[in-house]
Amino acid sequence: MMVNHKQIIPNDDILRYYFYFMQERMSIFWRKYEGHEPLTEDPILKKYRFTNVYRACDRVSQYLIRDVISKDIEDYTPQDMLLRILVYKIFNKIETWEYVEQVYGKIRINHFDVTEISNLLSERRRCLPIFNNAYMMTGTHKKYNYLPSKHEKWLSMVKEEFLGNGVVESILNVNSLEGVYRTLRKCSFLGDFLAYQFAIDFNYSPYLNYSENSFVKAGIGAIRGIKKCFVSYGDSFEDAIHYVHDNIDVLRARYGYTDFRPLPGHEPTLLDLQNCFCETDKYLREKVPTLQVGNIRIKQKYNASRTRILFSFPEKWGVEINQECTQKNLME
């Protein structure tokens, strides 16, 4: 039986902003990295916070790669490492991770006392936030509702399901990025978006080695961006992401943005293209406010960071940009 697939039809007037955003946001990254001013003349990119084109370049991901995964890696088993990555990413906040590691000690399978860690975090949240607001960490299964705090629910779910149900072992024995995602989806506390994001985080470790071009899952923000950029996006939102990936040089030429400068030897992957649809959605809220697709105002203004990043990438990528960023103001 022949299957009739839906067409993919770009909205050329809008999709061009996607490629503009990618090129200009990456130019900001390189200007900042090389110490050039001004970073951009675009008033929207000056005013608001936009993540990097490459997810791995953002500050929280850089800390994950360099300090959570690579630092003292020989001290941890593969199972320890996946637990460490998951706990770090649940809070997604460097300060929270450093506090736990300094006060409680190094997170390991055999050193993961939910009650003790939860008590420490309950004390900390009285005066400081413990979660990053990048992801809305609201999803919990109702069976954990007896617990009083969000962080205790999340840590308990990790203990009971990720460790207790053998999910961590299963992840180390699957054979694809999609397999990691589907294994994580078995956890009651993970929906599609977080399962995909955590699968990518695990894949930064040396214990998993799957192409980021082998599987993608569109998040809510990316879906809004895709709806704005396409008249028809195919059979799924992921079809639109694959379309951009497969035709990226043609589309860059069509819209006149052929000066994109990638990380050395590493073009944006399906993951990064998905992320850029989310960021383009944000950009279009200001640039083309008449495009009403679940529009809300951009919440986060750009605030320059005073700390520097020495960029590090998974060794298997073969990407090296060795100098420390020369400016104090690092846009995440």
Burial class (CB in 10 A: 0-12, 13-18, 19+), 267: middle
Within 8 A by CB and 6+ apart from 71, the residues are none
With b for 16 or more beta-carbon neighbours within 10 A and e for fewer, the 148-167 pattern comes to: eebbbbbbbbbbbbbbeeeb
Q: pTM for this one?
A: 0.92
Query: Are 172 and 285 in a shared domain?
Result: no
Query: Are 237 and 265 in a shared domain?
Result: yes
Residue in the block written with tokens 């003292």: 72
Query: Are 151 and 258 in a shared domain?
Result: no
Q: Is residue 290 part of a domain?
A: yes
Query: Are 225 and 286 in a shared domain?
Result: yes
Query: Are 196 and 263 in a shared domain?
Result: no
Q: Is residue 267 part of a domain?
A: yes
Query: Are 138 and 171 in a shared domain?
Result: yes
Percent of the chain with pLDDT over 90: 81
Query: Which pLDDT value is given to residue 188?
Result: 87
Query: Are 186 and 281 in a shared domain?
Result: no
Q: Is residue 64 part of a domain?
A: no
Rounded-to-integer distance, Cα 71 and Cα 48, Å: 33
Q: Is residue 323 part of a domain?
A: no
Q: Which residues, listed in sequence order, are joined to residue 76 by a DSSP beta bridge?
A: none
Query: Which pLDDT value is given to residue 145?
Result: 84
Residue at which a domain ends, from 178, 203, 228: 203
Query: Are 89 and 189 in a shared domain?
Result: yes
How many domains in the chain? 2
Q: Is residue 118 part of a domain?
A: yes
Q: Is residue 40 part of a domain?
A: yes
Q: Is residue 284 part of a domain?
A: yes
Residue at which a domain ends, from 143, 170, 203: 203
Query: Which pLDDT value is given to residue 136?
Result: 56
Q: Is residue 174 part of a domain?
A: yes
Query: With a cut of 70, which residues of the chain have pLDDT below it?
Result: 1-3, 134-141, 294-295, 297-306, 322-332
Query: Which pLDDT value is given to residue 328?
Result: 43
Which residue range is the domain that position 152 belongs to?
73-203
Query: Are 149 and 259 in a shared domain?
Result: no
Q: How many CB atoms lie within 10 A of CB 286?
A: 14
